[in-house]
Structures are given as C-alpha cells and as structure tokens.
Amino acid sequence: MPTLTIRDYAGDRDIAYVPGRSLLQVLEAARVPIRGGCDGRGGCGLCVVRILAGDAGVPTPIECLQLDEGQLAQGQRLACQALPQTDLRLQVLAPPPQAGWRYLDPRDRPSPRLTPAAPPDSGPALGHAPYGAAVDLGTTHLCLSLLDRRTGQWRAGCHGFNPQSAYGSDIMTRLAAAVASPAQAHRMSQQVVEGLGAALWGLAIRAGISLQHIGAVTLVGNTAMLALLSGRHCDRLLLPSQWTLAIDCQPETTDGWVQTWGIHPRARIDVIAPVAGLIGSDLLAGVLSTDLTGAGGGHLLIDFGTNSELALWDGEVLWCTSAAGGPAFEGSGMRCGFPAEPGAIDRVEFAAGGPQMRVIGGAQPQGLCGSGVVDLIAGLVRSGQLSSRGRFAPGVPGDGFHLGCGARDLVFTGADVDLFQRAKGAIGVGISVLLEQAGWRDRDLRRVCVGGAFGRAIDIRNAQALGLLPAIAPERIELWGNTALAGCEEALVSPAARGRCQHLVGQCRVINLALCPDFDERFVEHLFLRPIAGPGP
C-alpha cells in the first residue's frame, strides 16, 4: 500500500492509502485540514498542495486553468484533481481558516443605530435565565451577540467561520452536497450546532454568567443556511421554480440543540422564517434594524455577502431579490484574498510611490479583504493599469499586479478581477431590476443602506466609481455593517419586533432574477468597472 507523507508545522506524518481516490479524498479521510470551496470539483482552486517528492500524474485541464505555469513548475497541484498512485511527499499550502471564534471587546461594537423595540420580552424562564443570544447564520461567517433580555443591554459578541465551508464556498454547492448524501447533510447540520455551542460557551465566560442563564436564542439567516441547519427542504432550493415560493425551514425539534448548547432546558428557540426562495430572514432582520420601511419610499438595502440580498421599499411594497455575490465580498476565493481579520489589507490608496496599504490590527499583511479589493481595483482603474473591461495594461506583469508586501508574494490576478466583476455584475442586475419593478430611477433613491461585514468598511466613492453602488450623493449612502445581527438582536428581546418580521413578509414581492428575460444583457452591462449609468429621462 503506498504512503502519503505530509510535511507541516508538526513535522512529517505518514498516511497509508488505497489508490483510486483523489488526493483531497485521501487527506479528508485522514482528517488532514485543507481549504476547499467547491466540494472537490476544482471550481474554487483553493485546495493547493505542493508535491515535494513522487509523481502525482499529469495536471488536469482544470488545474491548468486554476494554476499558472509558475505554480505548476513549483510542483503545486489541486488536491481534488490529483490521483496519487505511488508514494508521495507533499505540503498543504492552503490550510482552512482557523475555526476559533473572535470575541469582541465592547469597544469594538459599533454604537447601535436603534434601541431595541419595546416592550421587553417576557418569555419562558426570564426570571431564572434572563439572557439571550442572537445568531446570524451566514454562508461564510456565523455571528452572535449575547444580550440581557430585560434591558436589551449588549454583553458580549463573537464571529467565526461557518464550518460548513469545506462543503462549498457558495450555497448551491453546499446544498447539492447535502442532497447527495443524507449522512453528509446530518454532519453539516451538526457542525453548525456544535460550533454555536462553543461560541455560546465563550460568550457566557466573557459575560461572567452560566450557560443556564441563557433562556432564549433567536436565529436568522439566508434560506439555504436555515435549511441546512434544520435539515429540511434543501432539495427545493436547488430548483429555480421554487425561488419565489415559501420554504419551511423550521426544525422538527430543537431539544437536541438546547442539550448540546447546555443552556436553560426551557429556553425559547426562535428560527425566524425566511421570506421565500433564497430571500432569508437575515434580510428581514436588516429591514427591521435599518427601519427601511419608514416614512416615504425610495429606500434600498444591499446586504453584501456570499449570497447577497437586496430590498427596495417604494412606500407600499418591499421588492426583494437575491444575487450570487460569491466569495469575493468575503475576501475568499481569490489568490490573495483574506477575511476581514487582523492581517487583512482593508484600505489601499495610490500615491506617487505606489499603493499605500492599511492592515487590520497593524499586523504583517496576509491578503486583501473585500474593502481592500474595492480600493485596489478603483486605484488600478484610475491609474490606467486596469481597463473598465477588467484587463490589465501591457505594463502589468503577466501573472497580475504585485502588491509588494507581506510574508508571501501578494499578487492580484486577472482571475481575481473577474471574480469581483461577476459579483458586482450580479448586484448591479439586482438593483436595476428592483428599481424597474418599483418604477423608480436610481437618482430617486433617498437612502441606500449597505449591510454585511464587507459593507461596514468600504470606501463609498471607490465603490460608486466601480458601479458597485448607485451613483447618487454619497451622503445618501449609509454604512451599517451587520444589519442582520442588529435586527436579530431586536427580535430576541422584543415580541413586537418578532411580530414586525412576520408583518414584513406580507409586504414583500420576491423577484427571481433567473427568470428575467434580459438577465444576460444586464449582467454584461454591469461587468464594466465604471459608474452605474442611470436610465434616461
């Protein structure tokens, strides 16, 4: 039986394997952590390894697309594509994001824009378990807040990576993986339940309370994440014909969750129902927290994420849709991408001496997060090094733009530009279709609320220059950050807020972009790196 020798920080490990499976399958079976985002299909290009000794066969056409000549010459391969037959010695170059939770200092928490709705909660076990947790289930990140339900006071918060990411970086790949295997679907659900349990334990420690003092947990999320958590109707979300219909994501029981989390046995678990199709309850929570349906119309919410969701209030109807933002807004899926954590470049300014970069936490730069990508692309376009079509100028090296910083050579490639363009194009189509349905022009927008971790830090003018945000007066654009979690906090502490979410569903009209007859033409128009061109008079 051939042997696989893996070199990492712990030294060399030997794994005996049976030929016939991909290198990724061998590594996963041996519980060797490796990054991935396409369930082993080769589409994400993340599971990179370096062959140090031995023969892993001829690179496949997919590898030749994902890896450049220099990488292949260095022995780099995609683990999902390589089919080992003999003894190999290798190094994993793409370890997955650390599963640890980042707990927030109260000083890191943005001041709330709205106070929790009154009256305060009076749910089960309030006297003995007065605390509650709000949870935002994102495709890439899980975010939690711990609050005192009696006062609405925020006590602690954290965020971490969704452990399901190994099954796919996008929702469709992840749903397909769950539908293909009931056992795999169960594992995906348990991963999130157990991950939330670890996060709740850490929150309780930081707040100085017992887990038994938590008497309520409220969860919001995009529809796919809620379906994967509850284990219900994942198959329906793979059918475009279902994308405007209600999807029941309510778990049959939450007793197992309560037991795993160790919270009060009579704790109330609320899974806020999604709107329909791929429009989740995270969008409803965002509408709630931003007061999007306040006086008048012309209010637009863009909740940026792997599955981006948009809502436009015209004064009577809440027009909603979703767009496949992909991992570009989360700082992943790119060769030099990095999540918005210490070490991420979140600001780039072009000066005479070249790009000047700001790094979160002042640490050694590890890569670009979403806001840094926006700044970099905008600067490259302004300096003439990148065309509006997304093509580098002749003076830029063939492998991409070298940032010239960091412990590793950070290179922003043409494939990275393309990934951003596709995400931006999908958002642009969503905005244009909602405005058309409501009979509005972009210049008529009174408010644009930008949500998501990506939206908290972007430079508004750079985003407008690339056509990512409408070309309106910048003062009409509000950067909110995680609107979904903020709305979930309100729903946690207030029955009135939970009722408001249900009322909002009745005001929604869901638009399925996949059924728009001119989607392709709109999409191509919004691929250009230039301001959004509003309709004529």
- In tens, the pLDDT along 145-201 reads 999 998 889 999 999 888 888 788 788 889 999 999 999 999 999 999 999 999 999
pLDDT mean across residues, the chain: 87
User: In the listed set 44, 62, 92, which residue is the last one of a domain according to the structure?
Assistant: 92
Count of domains for the chain: 3
Q: Going by C-beta distance under 8 Å and a sequence separation of 6 or more, which residues neighbour residue 262? A: 197, 200, 201, 211, 212
Long-range Cβ contacts of 500-505 (<8 Å, 24+ apart): 500/117, 500/288, 501/272, 501/281, 501/284, 501/285, 501/288, 502/273, 504/284, 504/287, 504/288, 504/293, 504/318, 505/273, 505/275, 505/284
Cα-to-chain-centroid distance, residue 259? 28
Query: 182-207 and 223-230 are packed helices; what angle lies between their axes, rounded to 10 degrees?
Result: 100
On whether residue 429 sits in a domain, the answer given is no
CB distance 277 to 223 below 8 Å: yes
Buried b (16+ CB within 10 A) or exposed e, 86-109: eebbbebbbebbeeebbbbeeeee
What pLDDT, in 10s, does the model give residues 6-17?
876 556 788 888
Is the residue at 489 inside a domain?
Answer: no
Q: What single-letter DSSP state applies at residue 337? A: B
Say if residue 87 is in the same domain as residue 114: no
- Quickly state the pLDDT bin for 488 (edges 50, 70, 90): very high
| Measured CA angle at 436 (ends 433, 441), to 5 deg | 115
Confidence label for 117 from pLDDT (cuts 50, 70 and 90) = very low
Residue 301 belongs to what H/E stretch? strand 299-303
407 within domain boundaries: yes
Same domain, residue pair 77 and 204: no
Residue 13 lies in a domain: yes
List the one residue out of 141, 152, 137, 157 whose CA is nearest residue 200: 157
Q: Which of 26, 59, 92 is the last residue of a domain?
A: 92
Percent of the chain with pLDDT over 90: 52
In terms of domains, do 65 and 163 share one? no
Q: Strand 154-161 relative to strand 102-103: parallel, antiparallel, unpaired?
A: antiparallel
Decide if 423 is inside a domain.
Answer: no
| Span 424-458, pLDDT tens digits | 999 999 999 999 999 989 889 999 999 987 777 89
Categorize the per-residue pLDDT at 261 as very low, low, confident or very high, splitting at 50, 70 and 90: very high
CA distance 332 to 328: 6
The structure's pTM equals 0.82
Q: Domain range holding 366?
A: 338-412
Do the strands 141-148 and 131-137 form a parallel or antiparallel pair, or are they unpaired?
A: antiparallel
Which of 412, 432, 467 is a domain's end point?
412
Residues 243, 377: one domain? no
Q: How far apart are CA 79 and CA 42, in angstroms?
A: 9
**One domain for residues 15 and 80:** yes
Q: How far is the C-alpha of 82 from the C-alpha of 421, rounded, in Å?
A: 30
Residue 374, φ and ψ in degrees, nearest 5: -60, -45
Q: How far apart, in whole angstroms, are the C-alpha atoms of residue 208 and residue 131?
A: 12
d(Cα 296, Cα 262) in Å, to the nearest integer? Answer: 45
- Decide: residue 476, CB within 10 A, 0-12 exposed, 13-18 middle, 19+ buried: middle
The pair of three-digit structure tokens given for residue 190, joined into one six-digit string:
């348990």
Residue 116 pLDDT class (50, 70, 90 cuts): very low
